[in-house]
């Protein structure tokens, strides 16, 4: 992984700050405006910053305490706790990656301090983010004007941009939930989201994220990526789901370090425009289900691809 250059602070981007202005015709707010205005909550998708969406999920073990009965309307169970979903900004009000990273840190500190588990949902302007395992040759030789930012999550390099829903679950892991199980739960939620739109996906052994099986349309292709970090028992970073993102960006680099597979989106698979707002309700539902930490039946993995045939080498006799 290429570290910060001389004079750069950690997380400082390479290259220019913004992506092509013509991308999908979607305007982006300036970083200065973003910092002045703070995270954006669009009406109908999360309310005001002081009134985020709340999904309620069953209590599991001693992780959370049931809320008080006071102030709860009739019919609301008292053995559930809040999972806050916050819409930080959707296109055209995309959120600068470094601004979102700082927001994650603040929310992470709040959750560590006892606040409700929180999921940030947003879209970024075009940006490449390089995880700790990124090799130099996997970076874009020509990022097309988009920033390239080194981040503190696991995994390799990926792309974010308008038309891609990014989710940052910032949640406290119960003692019985290991990091690998948390990743599987996020994958299972993404598989369920795709299934609700009629797109069959699964895991591929040895590869992170959520995939479509190779078929007559092409090789295995990734529709959702996952990269995360756990600090003080609370998660950061998360997932990205391609809804109607411009897939041309993925030709500029080696996505997630995997050179022998493709990338796709819900729109590309269904032959119609599937927007981020259309997907949001299902995302909330599926994440609330799998982050309740209850037992679940995992979707079977796609079978591992067979090894290529071995050629027997014969040494010529003298």
Q: Residue positions in the annotated binding site?
A: 153-160, 225-227, 238-240
At residue 113's C-alpha, the angle toward residues 110 and 117, to 5°, is 55
What is the SS3 assignment for 145-186? CCEEEECCCCCCEEEECCCEEEEEEECECCCCCCHHHHHHHH
Are the C-beta atoms of 167 and 190 separated by less than 8 Å? no
Annotated catalytic residue within 256, 280, 283, 292: 256
Report the largest interatomic distance among the alpha carbons of the chain, rounded to a whole angstrom. Answer: 92
Binding residues for substrate: 153-160, 225-227, 238-240
Using DSSP's 3-state secondary structure scheme, residue 227 falls into: strand
Q: Which two tokens stand for residue 203?
A: 């895991």
| Three-class DSSP category at 102 | helix
Residue 262 DSSP class = E
Asked about 194 being catalytic, the answer comes back as no
Positions marked catalytic? 256
């Amino acid at each position: 992984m290429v570290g910060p250059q001389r004079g750069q602070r950690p997380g400082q981007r390479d290259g220019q700050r913004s992506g092509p202005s013509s991308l999908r015709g979607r305007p982006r707010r300036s970083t200065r405006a973003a910092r002045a205005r703070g995270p954006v909550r669009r009406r109908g998708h999360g309310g005001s910053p002081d009134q985020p969406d709340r999904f309620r999920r069953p209590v599991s073990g001693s992780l959370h305490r049931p809320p008080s009965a006071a102030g709860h309307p009739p019919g609301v169970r008292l053995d559930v706790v809040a999972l806050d979903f916050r819409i930080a900004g959707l296109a055209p009000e995309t959120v600068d990656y470094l601004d979102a990273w700082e927001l994650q840190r603040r929310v992470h500190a709040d959750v560590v301090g006892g606040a409700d588990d929180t999921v940030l949902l947003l879209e970024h302007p075009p940006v490449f983010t390089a995880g700790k395992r990124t090799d130099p040759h996997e970076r874009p030789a020509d990022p097309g004007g988009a920033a390239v930012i080194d981040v503190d999550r696991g995994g390799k390099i990926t792309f974010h941009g308008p038309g891609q829903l990014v989710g940052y679950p910032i949640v406290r892991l119960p003692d019985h939930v290991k990091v690998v199980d948390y990743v599987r739960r996020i994958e299972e939620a993404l598989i369920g989201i795709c299934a609700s739109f009629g797109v069959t996906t699964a895991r591929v052994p040895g590869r992170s994220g959520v995939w479509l099986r190779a078929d007559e349309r092409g090789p295995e292709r990734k529709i959702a990526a996952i990269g995360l970090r756990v600090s003080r028992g609370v998660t950061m970073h998360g997932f990205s789901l391609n809804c109607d993102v411009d897939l041309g960006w993925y030709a500029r680099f080696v996505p997630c370090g995997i050179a022998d597979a493709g990338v796709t989106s819900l729109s590309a698979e269904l032959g119609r425009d599937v927007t981020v707002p259309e997907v949001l309700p299902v995302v909330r539902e599926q994440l609330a289900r799998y982050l309740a930490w209850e037992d679940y039946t995992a979707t079977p993995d796609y079978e591992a691809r067979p090894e290529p045939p071995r050629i027997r080498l014969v040494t010529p006799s003298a």
